[in-house]
Amino acid sequence: MKVLCDVRKNAVSMKYGFSKSQLMDFCQKLEIQYVHIPELGIESSKRKDLEGQQDYNQLFEEYDRETLPHRREYLQKIQEMIQLNKRVALTCFEALPQQCHRARVAKALKLMTHYELTHL
């Protein structure tokens, strides 16, 4: 089965099709399993005033240091989905990997498992 794993803290969006219920509906129609893991998300208050890449870098360094080490059980859940399904697509809202925490989640998974990582 194909899996789309949403790692946003709050799976809501003003952009059509990106809210949790809409994504679940679209995925179901395409026979894709939708899984939301909000525990891997970042509080919107921490993302509110980001302006340049330097701000993103500081946020993600803090995320790597203070969040991911305490969320291993959720990383392991994704690891199990990968083992079972061979592929799992991580989704969030940001278009660029260097401005999205899903790249940090993917990097942590790669270090745990040595999986191949592809940014789409």
In angstroms, the CA 8 to CA 20 distance is 10
pLDDT at 61 over 90: yes
> Residue 18's CB: how many other CB atoms inside 10 A?
17
pLDDT by residue (tens digit) across 79-115? 999 888 878 888 887 777 778 888 889 888 888 776 6
> Residue 73's CB: how many other CB atoms inside 10 A?
8
Q: How confident is the model at residue 120 (pLDDT cuts 50, 70, 90)?
A: low
Domains of the chain, by residue range, sit at 2-113
**Mean of all residue pLDDT scores within the chain:** 85
The model's pTM:
0.84
